[in-house]
Every structure is written in structure tokens, then in C-alpha cells.
Amino acid sequence: MTQPAHAVFRGCLVDTPALGALRIRPRGALGIDRRTGRIIGVAAEPAAGVAAAALVGGWTGSHVDDSDVEVIDLGADQFLMPGLIDTHTHAPQYTFLGLGHDLPLMDWLEKYTFKHESQFRDAELARTVYADVVRRVVRAGCTMAAYYGTIHLDACCVLAETIRAAGQRAYVGKVCMDANSPAYYSESTDESLQATEAFVHAVLAGHSAADASLLVRPIITPRFVPSCSDRCLRGLGELARAHELPVQSHLCENPAEIAFAKACFPGAASYSAIYHAAGLFGPRTIMAHCVHMSDDDIRLVRECGVGVSHCPNSNFSLSSGVADVRRLIDHGIPVGLGTDVGGGYAPSILDAMRMAAAASRAIVAARRDSAQPAGTPLDAGELLFLATQGGARVMGMQDHIGTLDPGKLFDALVVDLAAPGSPVPPPSATPAVLEHQRDGRHEQAWALRAEQFVFLADDRNIARVYVGGKLIHAL
């Protein structure tokens, strides 16, 4: 039987249209058109007794039969929210997840990372590993991710195909490394540029006409400045410009890395200036980490509209430092969250929200006794923003995903706080929630439950995952 063209969700809607603006609609309704995968309308509180077909008719301006609409009533412990967005992850690094955090970045790359990634010269290994990786990322509620592959063209094509088959939205990058890299895991400049171009064509060729849904797209991926020659960086900048592609890389993660990058380009005014000179800095650029940013770095990142992927788990795990996200945000720089597997050990943006909370609290605590103003730590609503609309902005996708607004693609999660084994306590065990519920303050009750979701939930609470209106995962 074919599915009705429309679906209407009825129940609690949670999203964050702006930083600090947690929007809760306890008795909302949201309609989607499955043919376009987009949200067609949202009602904060439709009048009692109005049929879903009448709502859809109002949104579309044409008569709609009951049979054209599937009604999905959310349970008392469920809410609908935008999908989580991972703005920085390394698919091959799942092979050593949770291992090797004894060393700082540059030694960690040499001792563990390059060895594991080099194994992906075997495309069959990629097929097995990447199927698990993508399943795992989707199960954690991630509807869009910016993935790094390895230097290998075939394995990167496998990664892109695997993501497309899973129905997840993604940027996928072939990693480029033509300098200062071990012989067993490096490429010549020409190989790097040619394989990147071939990868871009392969991924774009995989787009069907229906791929107005912007599902899987290539992203230009110099690993970081120390791994790339000047010609490589400039060639990649040219490819990004010619194909209007996004760019991703690492920036100012660790003091030894920054010193190395500057030593590779002795004339450069800052780390950022090296990417900028190569044509790699623009509003479609994602820079991961940005822990140790000079004023010059901040200025260039802001002026170019570059987005920052905050990867707090990795920044703690590799002893890189604590990124001052509030400073970046206050400068008007777009910020989203990244897992950076395996620099970090957790493949979930739920974890990234908690680690971002810890990082911001660490900064406030460290400043308490200093002359600097301590600032305010990130609250649950702000963390949700970074994980959704903030991430969408970093991806250059803020008009398409990130909130539950009409016209956007329906990339969303049904969260079930009462799922079997749920680590989130029920309202009966949370007097503050119960009290609001009893007194009819449903918005306040849901605000507390959303906060519990941020700090306590895991995969067991991600009941359903939708991308472009399609259900791609259900418990």
C-alpha cells in the first residue's frame, strides 16, 4: 500500500530558532509533504476537533481527503525535534574508538590514527566498517554529518554510497595529505588533487533528479595545514571555487600543531591566513576545534563567514584545551558541535552537548578568581541550539534544516523519554516536572524534560529518525 502523501504529527514540538530561544509547543501540529520531504505547516495549538486533513488543506490551500493524510499522535512522553547535526567526524576512526588517548594530537596521529586510516586502502574493509559506522551515527539521532574519509578514493566512494543507502544527509570528504605524512599513508600533490576531483564527480554523479533534497554532497578536505603543501591547498581552493563546494579542515587545535603549521608557512600572519590565502576560507567552510585562536584568527574567521565545529570531547580527550565557545559566538562566528571520533570517544551529539556544557563551565570556573569576567555557561537551550540550528548554520544549511519551520526539510527525531531502559527518569520521579504538569504549566514541564533529554538521554530515547521526510531509523 502506498503511504499517504502527507503526514501530520500531533504532540509536543521542541526546537531552538535562535541561541537562547528554546521554543516549546506542547500541543502542536506539524505537517509534511512526503513527496518534497518538507514541512508544509506548523500550528502551535490547533483548535480542538480540527481534523488533520483540514490542517493540511489550510497549509496547502487545496482540498485534502482524510485518506491523503497519515496522523501520527505522539505519546505523553514523546516530543518531536530537529535532527542532531554532527559538523565534524572521521568515519574510519571508529576502528579505534575509545583507545589511544594517552598522547597529544601530533603523537596521537603518528602512533594510532594514520595506521588505522591507512587500512582503508582496502575498499572491502571500508564496506564493512562504514555500514556499521553510519548505522551507529543514525541511531544516535544524527540526521546530517560532515564526514572525513581517508586519502583513498575507492573507500571514500564506498562511504558516500553507504550514507546515501542509509538515507542520511551528509557532506563527505576525501582527505588530502601530500606533506609531512608517513610513506605508508600519503599521496603526491597531483594524486591528491586528481583523486579529489574524481571523488567530487563520483558523488555528484550519484545525485538523482530527486536529489533536490541535498542528501549526500562532496566537501573539499585538506586534513590540516601540516599535511598539505601550498600547491595542494591552492589546488583544493580552486576546486572548491569551481564546483561551489563546502570545505572542512582543522584549525588551532593544539599548540604544537599551530607551531608546526606556522613553521610550514613561515610568512603567514596566522594559521587562518594560510587557509585564507589558498582560497579555502568562505561561508561554506567548516573549521574544527579552534581552541587556541589568536585575535587575527578570530578576525579572519569572522570576516570570511567561516563556521566553527566545537569538538569538546576530543579537546578534553587529547588534552588539546578548552575552546571558549562563548567568545566565538560573541564575535558573531557560527558554531556547531562535532564528535571528532576518534579524537573523542563518543559518537553522539548528545555527548557533545554535555561535553560542551562541561567545557563552558570549566572556563567560567577558571575565570572566577581572575580579573576577567567569568561569563555565563551554556544552558540546555543553548546546547540544543548548537546541536541543531547552530550546526545547520555551520553547514550552510540553515534555510533547509535545523528547526521545525514550514519550508524546511523534515529532518527530525521523535524522542521517547519513556522508552524501555530509558536513562531519563519519569515525571513521577521528578517533582519539579510533576508540579508543572499538575498545575497545567505544560511548557515549563517540557522545558525541564528537554533539559533532562540533553543531559541524560541516549540512543534508547531516539525512537524515530526522519531525513527529508523519510523514516530512516525506528526502534
Chain residues that interact with ligand GUN, rule: CB under 6 A: 90, 105, 109, 113, 223-224, 250, 253, 314, 340, 343
* Angle between helical axes of 349-367 and 442-456 (0-180°, round to 10): 90
Nearest to 247 by CA among 270, 273, 269, 224: 224
Number of residue whose CB is nearest ligand GUN: 343
**3-class DSSP state of 285:** strand
Angle formed by the axes of helices 230-243 and 189-205, nearest 10°: 20
Residues 313-352 that bind Fe ion (CB under 5 A): 340
Residue 112 touches which member of Fe ion, ligand GUN, none, C-beta under 5-8 Å by kind: none
Residue 86 interacts with Fe ion (CB under 5 A)?
Answer: no
Q: Which does 224 bind (CB under 5 to 8 A by kind): ligand GUN, Fe ion, none?
A: ligand GUN
- Of 253 and 416, nearer to ligand GUN (C-beta) is 253
Distance of CA 307 to the CA centre of its chain: 12
Nearest Cα residue to 422 out of 375, 460, 384: 460
Q: Which is nearer to ligand GUN, 285 or 314 (CB)?
A: 314
For the CB of residue 338, give the shortest distance to Fe ion in the complex, in Å. Answer: 7
Nearer to ligand GUN, 59 or 224 (CB): 224
SS3 readout for 85-138:
EEEEEEHHHHHHCCCCCCCCHHHHHHHHHHHHHHHHHCHHHHHHHHHHHHHHHH
How many residues touch Fe ion (CB under 5 A)? 1
User: Is 181 or 360 the residue whose CB approaches ligand GUN more closely?
Assistant: 181
CA 381 vs CA 129, 196, 390, 401, 413: distances in Å: 34, 39, 12, 17, 17
Residue with cell 565545529: 309
Minimal distance, residue 203 CB to ligand GUN, in Å: 21
Taking the complex as a whole, the smallest distance from the CB of residue 204 to ligand GUN amounts, in Å, to 25
Question: Residue 109 or 153: which CB sits closer to ligand GUN?
Answer: 109
Residues 19 and 337: beta-carbon distance below 8 Å = no
Q: Decide which of Fe ion, ligand GUN, none touches 223; Cβ closer than 5 to 8 Å per partner kind.
A: ligand GUN
With CB under 5 to 8 Å by kind, the binding choice for 105 among Fe ion, ligand GUN, none is ligand GUN
In angstroms, give the least distance from the CB of 115 to ligand GUN: 12
Check residue 297 for interaction with Fe ion (CB under 5 A): no
Q: 312, 359 in Cβ contact below 8 A? A: yes
Q: Is the dihedral of CA 38, 141, 76, 447 positive or negative?
A: negative
- In angstroms, the Cα distances linking 441 to 160, 238, 262, 436, 445 are 46, 55, 56, 5, 6
**Closest CB 321 distance from ligand GUN, rounded Å:** 12
In angstroms, give the least distance from the CB of 154 to ligand GUN: 20
CB of 322 to ligand GUN, least distance (A): 15
Q: Which three cell numbers stand for residue 82?
A: 530537529
Which lies closer to ligand GUN via its Cβ, residue 113 or residue 196? 113
Which of Fe ion, ligand GUN, none sits in contact with 86, Cβ below 5 to 8 A by type? none
**Count of residues for the chain?**
475
| H/E run at residue 147 | strand 142-148
Q: Give the integer Cα–Cα distance in Å for 383 and 368.
A: 22
Nearest distance from C-beta of residue 254 to ligand GUN, angstroms: 8
Q: Which is nearer to ligand GUN, 103 or 358 (CB)?
A: 103
Which residue, 87 or 162, is less far from Fe ion as judged by CB?
87
Q: Are strands 412-416 and 78-82 parallel, antiparallel or unpaired?
A: antiparallel
253 makes contact, choosing from ligand GUN, Fe ion, none, with CB < 5 to 8 Å by partner type, with ligand GUN
Least distance (Å) from ligand GUN to the CB of residue 30?
A: 37
Chain residue whose CB lies nearest Fe ion: 340
Nearer of residues 22 and 287 to ligand GUN, judged by Cβ: 287
Q: What residues make contact with Fe ion under the rule CB under 5 A?
A: 340
